[in-house]
Amino acid sequence: MAPESAARFEALEDQAERMMRVFASGGYEHVAPSIIQPAEIFLDRVGESIRSRTYIFTDPDGQELCLRPDLTIPACRIYLERNPKGNRVARYAYNGPAFRYQQGKQSPLRPREFRQAGIECFGVADREQAESEVLGLVVEALREAGLRGFVLRLGDLGLFRALLEALPIPVRWRERLRNSFWRPESFHATLHRLAQPARPLADPNVVALARELDPDNVDEAEQRVSTFLEASSLTFIGARSLAEITGRLLAAAADMREQPLSSDVIRTLEAYLALAGSPETVARDIARLAADAAIDLGEALDRYARRLQFFREAGIGLNHAQFAADFGLKLEYYSGFVFQLELPGQGIAGQIAGGGRYDGLLPSIGGPVDTPAMGSAIHTERLLAARGGAA
């Protein structure tokens, strides 16, 4: 190993050791998740941004595997192996490599192999307390490592989902809007498309078929679609299965029966997503927006206020914190509070740590119950660079 590489490796190890001591003092057990993971678990849950950059391969037995693109899901698998009922409190810390494809020439800011240190907190029923605990430990770990001048960026997918639930939006359309939240251009395109009458299907025969399908009897609907395709001498399009084609026709028929979203709903959603500022100011803005729209966000706003109170009591300074309603990180398994610790004006290089709540993730990878979960990962190489490479 070259002297420069050796010195950098030692600096990373020293930095990680300092942070792991902080995590251990908070009751977090050091675990080492496997680098090679089942690909299906990641591809279905991390979201489009990460899915397209995951290294996937097939072993000689035909099993599709991947190099872990992050360490949260591997830590979740350890939790379920040790706690198959998903009903116990557990706290894990880790430090190790992750892998993501980066298009074009490799950059020190976005390497294909990078290191993460982090913590995951499972099973704590008091969600706001757990969020304060995790964020407080990450802030302490960064300070222990020698980082100064970072700011806190906050978001809350729970508030966004509560807003969707409170507004008069069909259930299917709520799901579409939730799923496109992480892609702003797609979200706004979807929102404005739902404000228009449903686009008619090109073939009147297909329109007639779609209107005849019973959404409460999927087996019969699939049989009708299969019969239609055979009678029309049509084959399945590309890789789409009979179930997928039927699902699309059922959705199209349902859309044709719905009235477009009202201009009031559109304005409320766009006004909410434009909110940004200090956490306290935004809380008042959201309450005012809810009152103007005559909707109840009481529970979600109470959780928001309680979380901020926990932060203050834990000594997490909010003077340099900013809340943005459209902030959600890139990993689509997040379901509630999210945060990022960053150095202002430094772009990707300044995005040092991030994390959030992901209560729905464990059941989606085999857990029997909806276990509360909260975690955070630190980009240790960015952290080292931000500190000037000092040990």
Q: What is the DSSP string of 208-261?
A: HHHHH--TT-HHHHHHHHHHHHHHTT----TT--HHHHHHHHHHHHHHHHSPPP
The amino acid at 390: A
Among 241, 257, 273, the domain boundary falls at 257
- For residue 217, give its domain range: 204-257
The two three-digit tokens of residue 39, written as one number: 């690909």
pLDDT at 370: 92
Task: Round to the nearest angstrom and report the end-to-end CA distance of the chain.
Answer: 18
What pLDDT does residue 196 have? 86
Identify the CA nearest to 109 among candidates 370, 371, 351: 351
Angle at CA 385, nearest 5°, toward 341 and 26? 50
> Which of 240, 257, 274 is where one domain is finished?
257
Contact, 50 vs 330, CB < 8 A? yes
Q: Specify whether 135 is located in the same domain as 274.
A: no
DSSP class of residue 181?
T
Q: What is the pLDDT of residue 229?
A: 76
Rounded Cα gap, residues 337 and 328, in angstroms = 9
Is 199 a member of any domain?
no
> Is residue 198 a part of any domain in this protein?
no
Enter the tokens of residue 215. Answer: 């959404």
Q: How far apart are CA 276 and CA 292, in angstroms?
A: 18
Of 38, 45, 72, 66, the C-alpha closest to 54 is: 66
Based on the domain organization, do 321 and 354 belong to the same domain?
Answer: no
Q: What is the dihedral of CA 236, 258, 298, 310, to 10 degrees?
A: 20
Residues 34 and 89 in one domain: yes
d(CA 58, CA 38): 10
- Which is nearest to 327 in space by CA: 279, 287, 370, 293? 279
Q: Residue with structure tokens 């391969």?
A: 57
In a domain, 145, yes or no: yes
Q: Does the global pTM surpass 0.95?
A: no
Q: Considering the domain boundaries, does residue 66 fall inside one?
A: yes
User: Rounded to the nearest 10 degrees, what angle do helices 3-25 and 127-145 cross at?
Assistant: 140
Q: Which of 335, 360, 377 is the last residue of a domain?
A: 335
Tell me how far apart the alpha carbons of residues 299 and 336 are, in angstroms, rounded to a whole number: 13
Same domain, 12 and 53: yes
For residue 109, what pLDDT is reported?
Answer: 65
Tens of pLDDT along the chain (391 residues) come to 566 678 888 999 999 999 999 999 999 999 999 999 999 888 777 777 778 889 999 999 999 999 999 999 999 999 999 999 999 999 999 999 999 998 877 676 678 999 999 999 999 999 999 999 999 999 999 999 999 999 999 999 999 999 999 999 998 899 989 989 988 889 999 998 898 886 666 567 776 777 777 666 778 777 777 787 777 765 555 556 777 777 777 676 666 677 899 999 999 999 999 999 999 999 999 999 999 999 999 899 999 999 999 999 999 989 899 999 999 988 888 999 999 999 999 998 999 999 999 999 999 999 999 999 999 999 999 999 998 864 4
Residue 191: inside a domain: no
Owner of token pair 């202002």: 344
Residue 189 placed within a domain:
no
- Determine the Cα–Cα distance for residues 287 and 279; give it in Å rounded to an integer: 12
Q: Is the domain of 135 the same as that of 49? A: yes
139 shares a domain with 167: no
Beta pairing class for 321-324 and 151-156: parallel
Identify whether the C-beta of residue 150 lies closer than 8 Å to the C-beta of residue 352. yes
Specify whether 80 is located in the same domain as 224.
Answer: no
Token pair of 20 as six digits? 């792991």
329 and 249 fall within a common domain: no
In a domain, 305, yes or no: yes
Same domain for 162 and 311: yes
Q: Do 251 and 270 share a structural domain?
A: no
Do both 359 and 234 map to the same domain? no
pLDDT of residue 43: 77
Q: Are 289 and 251 contained in the same domain?
A: no
- What is the phi/psi pair of residue 77, to 5°? -65, -40
Amino acid in the structure at residue 243: A
- C-beta contacts of 344-347 below 8 A and 24+ residues apart: 344/149, 344/151, 346/386, 347/109
Domain count for the chain, please give it: 3
Q: Is residue 169 part of a domain?
A: yes
Helix ranges, the chain (H): 3-25, 39-43, 48-51, 72-82, 127-145, 157-166, 171-179, 184-194, 204-212, 218-231, 242-257, 263-273, 279-292, 298-313, 361-364, 380-386
Q: Are 380 and 16 in contact (CB under 8 A)?
A: yes
Torsion on CA atoms 252, 258, 260, 264, rounded to nearest 10: -140
C-beta of residue 321 within 8 angstroms of C-beta of residue 328: no
Rounded Cα distance between 122 and 260, Å, is: 41
